[in-house]
Amino acid sequence: MAVHNAARACGIDFGTSNSTVGWLCPDRPTLLPLEDGKITLPSVVFFNYEEDHSVFGRHALQEYIEGYEGRLMRSLKSLLGSSLIDSQTEVQGKALPFRHLLTLFIQELKQRADRAANRSFSEVVLGRPVFFVDDNPKADQLAEDTLAEVARQIGFKDVSFQYEPIAAAFDYESGIEREELVLIVDIGGGTSDFSLVRLSPQRHMLDQRHDDILANGGVHIGGTDFDKQLSLHGVMPLFGFKSCATMPRCRPASISTWPPAHHQLCLHPQSLDGTARHLPRCYRTESHGSAVQTDSGTRRTLAGHAGGDRQD
């Protein structure tokens, strides 16, 4: 199939947990493979200090889990609309503006999409929530403007946006014969959004659909909360959580929301029969807003940890 028959634009869903890129090309899948044949790329960056490189997605998580010295950055989307967007953090002794961090990840998305489609996309439709920021139109507009600026900076000449609930409803709308009111439920990594949308065959081709979003609301409960509860109540008690035993300083309640916590746990001494062994890893974090940064490489021994925090 000749690529020149494909649409000129790609669509990017930059998500809190995962990101995807889609296009329209005859006889080709809509979603492009972004990592090892998979259509999703976890929205994660790992700065590997030992090998002096940056990795993304599942490979970023893997290098972090393997214990390389470095910094893991995730939940990047939460920077949009926040005051942190004009701030910076430190990576390997150098200042890293958060805007540049966003640019690094979205540029990686574009490059992978270009390779998968065997073409260079110059136009993009970016998905966006109905509200990046609740009850703050100025901050909400700033979030969209920031994302558009990043998109143009990495090579997109034409940038437009589509509301995520409308994007989710398009496929359903293409098959209906009369006007309907539809409830769109979007359960994400950090929040769950609910939108009541008006759909009809006559409105399907309209460019502006904001007025068709009749109501929108959400709660700050998402997939990460379920992961946390599963970890705290199903796994952590096996390693001393809620027992009277002395625990290492890295608290189970804190590490339960981090991806590597499912693979590497801070064990309590009784689980090792009193033998002094190296912990797989004790984590320390810096939390800036909702964006999570995790330093790796800090290790402790059980024998060397006296008088640790107690978890009751």
Residue 245 has pLDDT above 50, yes or no: yes
Residues 26 and 102 in one domain: yes
Lowest mean pLDDT among 10-24, 107-121, 214-228: 214-228
105 versus 165: the higher-pLDDT residue is 105
| Final residue before a domain boundary, out of 104, 126, 156 | 156
What's the pLDDT score for residue 293?
57
Mean local confidence (pLDDT), 40-61? 96
**Does some domain include residue 212?**
no
Query: pLDDT category, 265, cuts 50, 70, 90?
Result: very low
Residue 240 lies in a domain: yes
Residue-wise pLDDT tens digits, 96-146: 999 999 999 999 999 999 999 999 999 999 998 888 887 888 998 999 999
User: Based on the domain organization, do 11 and 132 belong to the same domain?
Assistant: yes
Same domain, 152 and 49: yes
Residue 39 within any structural domain of the chain: yes
67 falls within a domain: yes
Please tell me the least confidently modeled range out of 1-10, 34-43, 132-141, 225-234.
1-10
- Domain assignment present for residue 211? The answer is no
Total domains in the chain come to 2
Domain boundary among 138, 156, 174: 156
* Within a domain: 21: yes
Query: What pLDDT shows up at residue 240?
Result: 78
Whether residue 155 has pLDDT greater than 90: yes
Domain-embedded: residue 260: yes
Please indicate, yes or no, whether residues 29 and 142 belong to a single structural domain of this protein: yes
Query: Which band of pLDDT confidence, cut at 50, 70 and 90, is reported for residue 250?
Result: low
**Residues of the domain holding 287:** 224-296
Which is more confidently placed, 74 or 207?
74
Domain shared by 30 and 128, yes or no:
yes
Question: CATH number, domain at 90?
Answer: 3.30.420.40
Structure tokens belonging to residue 205? 């081709």
Report the predicted TM-score, pTM, of the whole model to 2 decimal places.
Answer: 0.74
Query: What pLDDT score was predicted for residue 10?
Result: 96
Task: Residue 46: name the closest of 296, 306, 303, 298 by CA.
Answer: 296
For residues 135 and 236, state if they share a domain: no
In a shared domain, residues 149 and 16? yes
Say yes or no: 229 and 135 in one domain: no
Query: What are the residues whose beta carbons fall under 8 Å from the beta carbon of 73, sequence distance 6 or more?
Result: 44, 45, 46, 47, 101, 291, 292, 293, 294
Bridge partners of residue 259, in order along the sequence: none
Q: CA-CA distances (angstroms) from residue 71 to 18, 258, 289, 290, 305?
A: 19, 13, 17, 16, 24
pLDDT at site 221? 78
Condensed to tens digits (0 to 9), the pLDDT of residues 293-312 reads 555 543 322 222 223 333 33
Residue 232 — pLDDT band, cuts 50, 70, 90?
confident
